[in-house]
């Protein structure tokens, strides 16, 4: 979304949160890496559908897939390949608004339905900015906010947990409002995590990963148990009047834009995303050869109660689907200098395409050492144990609950098993403040307590 250009002022040295011009990971890549390692054991086939939203083409009504048109048969990417594909796409995206989470939530519901209502986790990485104009009265919601809230209510009818990871500087008031104030939902299906607050001050990568995993997944076990109790994965879903969003191809590399500077131009072309350029005017629909598409605003007015289906309008988009850039003259950054030779003007030749992202590979897990092996292997390449002929087996449902609950319980006081550990003794063991004040011996190693250090969590 457009707000990514300024919400990194404090947390990302004033750079755009989607900046991939340096080898340093941007906040989105950082989260992708940690989420990939955290959720690896919870996915049975290591193939993740990936989508983008909130750019100049999708706005608040559509999403685009990460999969290029030439590889439409590919359902997604491996957790290890998502970041490489993101880095390919990010320079091609023209950030814009308005922004709503409703399209990506509705698309996640479609993925759940296509997979026979199997339990899924939707991870949305965003800067938290859902469009809210200044003329919206306090206590009221913008159309985009209302659409997002109604999509969350709609998604609660399905076995889908939604985790929104906030990157950048915020503000996060709306995310907390989504998390706490939607009583119409079938179950509490939403969890918000502010990434910078969770990992701030933790330099050790392993500790960062553990802290983030505990925070992001702490509500998943209870949500999963609720999904099973409500039988959301098996009960018949009534026909829905909520249509899925349009899924567009990924944005193509930008070309044909030659910036002209008062200073001598650079030797190589520079992406239009590197500059605060005005919005590029597209030809009117009547002068294009692009197919027109209907854009359906989620709601004409906020629903009065419960979840209301969207109302459709015949509104034509003035933004073409992904196709060749317009051929008409585009605005330039400054008047052309008169003393620059033609040889010094940057070339209009499009930059070379980045190599395609790696194709998701289905692996077989060794039953002994748990290392992944190619599906063609008959024995583990690490411990030489025989491999089963099937691919990685789906995790038992109870194992998901057990593993994540263990992660959560590791933070609880071993005495009361209710409060979080926040007091460290000189021996290194921890309890909560209430229990620690009443102890003279460490409950773990039985050493006399001589020091109590308060740890703020």
**Tokens representing residue 170 in the block:** 């915020």
pTM: 0.57
Residue 162 in this model has a pLDDT that exceeds 90? yes
415-455 per-position pLDDT tens digit: 887 788 889 898 888 899 989 998 999 988 888 999 898 87
pLDDT score at 275: 31
pLDDT score at 271: 32
pLDDT score at 103: 93
Residue-wise DSSP of 365-419? E-TTT--EEETT-SB-TTT-PBPPSSSSPPPPHHHHHHHHHHHHHTTB-TTTSSS
End-to-end CA distance of the chain: 32
User: Which domains does the chain show, CATH number per domain?
Assistant: 2-248 (3.40.50.410), 362-402 (no CATH), 412-456 (3.30.40.10)
Q: Is 263 exposed, middle or buried (0-12, 13-18, 19+ CB in 10 A)?
A: exposed
Average pLDDT over residues 36-41: 76
pLDDT score at 31: 86
Q: pLDDT confidence of 236, banded at 50, 70, 90?
A: low
**Tokens representing residue 420 in the block:** 């979080």
**Tokens representing residue 174 in the block:** 């709306």
Highest mean pLDDT of the ranges 104-108, 257-261, 380-384, 430-434: 104-108
Query: In whole numbers, what is the pLDDT of the chain averaged over residues?
Result: 71
Residue 142 in this model has a pLDDT that exceeds 50? yes
How far apart are alpha carbons 413 and 303 in whole angstroms?
45
pLDDT score at 329: 44
How far apart are alpha carbons 364 and 391 in whole angstroms?
5
- Of the listed ranges 56-60, 241-245, 263-267, 308-312, the one predicted with least confidence: 263-267
**Tokens representing residue 454 in the block:** 């308060």
């Amino acid at each position: 979304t457009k707000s990514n250009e300024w919400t990194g002022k404090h947390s990302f040295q004033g750079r755009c949160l989607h900046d991939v011009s340096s080898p340093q990971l941007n906040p989105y890549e950082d989260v992708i890496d940690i989420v990939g390692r955290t959720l690896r054991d919870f996915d049975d086939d290591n193939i993740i559908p990936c989508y983008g939203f909130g750019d100049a083409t999708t706005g608040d009504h559509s999403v685009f897939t990460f999969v290029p048109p030439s590889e439409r048969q590919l359902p997604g990417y491996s957790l290890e390949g998502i970041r490489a594909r993101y880095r390919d796409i990010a320079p091609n995206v023209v950030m814009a608004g308005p922004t709503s989470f409703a399209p990506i939530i509705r698309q996640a519901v479609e993925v759940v339905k296509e997979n026979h209502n199997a339990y899924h986790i939707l991870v949305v990485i965003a800067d938290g900015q859902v469009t809210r104009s200044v003329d919206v009265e306090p206590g009221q919601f913008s159309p985009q906010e209302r659409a997002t809230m109604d999509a969350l209510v709609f998604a609660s009818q399905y076995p889908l947990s939604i985790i929104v990871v906030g990157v950048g500087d915020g503000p996060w008031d709306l995310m907390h409002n989504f998390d706490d104030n939607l009583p119409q939902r079938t179950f509490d299906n939403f969890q918000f995590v502010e990434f910078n607050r969770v990992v701030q001050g933790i330099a050790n990568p392993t500790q960062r990963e553990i802290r983030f995993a505990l925070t992001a997944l702490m509500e998943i076990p209870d949500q999963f148990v609720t999904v099973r109790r409500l039988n959301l994965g098996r009960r018949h879903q009534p026909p829905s009047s909520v249509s899925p969003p349009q899924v567009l191809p990924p944005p193509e590399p930008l070309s044909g834009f030659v910036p002209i500077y008062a200073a001598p131009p650079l030797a190589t072309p520079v992406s239009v995303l590197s500059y605060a350029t005005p919005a590029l005017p597209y030809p009117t629909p009547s002068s294009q050869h692009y197919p027109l598409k209907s854009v359906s605003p989620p709601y004409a007015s906020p629903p009065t109660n419960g979840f209301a289906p969207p109302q459709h309008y015949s509104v034509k988009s003035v933004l073409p689907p992904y196709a060749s850039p317009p051929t008409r003259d585009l605005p330039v950054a400054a008047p052309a200098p008169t003393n620059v030779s033609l040889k010094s003007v940057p070339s209009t030749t499009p930059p070379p395409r980045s190599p395609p992202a790696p194709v998701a590979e289905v692996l077989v897990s060794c039953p002994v050492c748990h290392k992944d092996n190619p599906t063609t292997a008959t024995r583990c390449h690490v411990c030489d144990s025989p491999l089963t002929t099937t691919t990685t087996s789906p995790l038992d449902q109870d194992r998901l609950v057990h593993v994540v609950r263990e992660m959560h319980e590791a933070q609880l006081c071993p005495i009361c098993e209710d409060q979080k550990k926040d007091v460290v003794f000189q021996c290194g063991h921890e309890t909560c403040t209430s229990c620690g004040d009443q102890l003279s011996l460490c409950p773990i190693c039985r050493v006399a307590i001589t020091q109590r250090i308060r740890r703020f969590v």
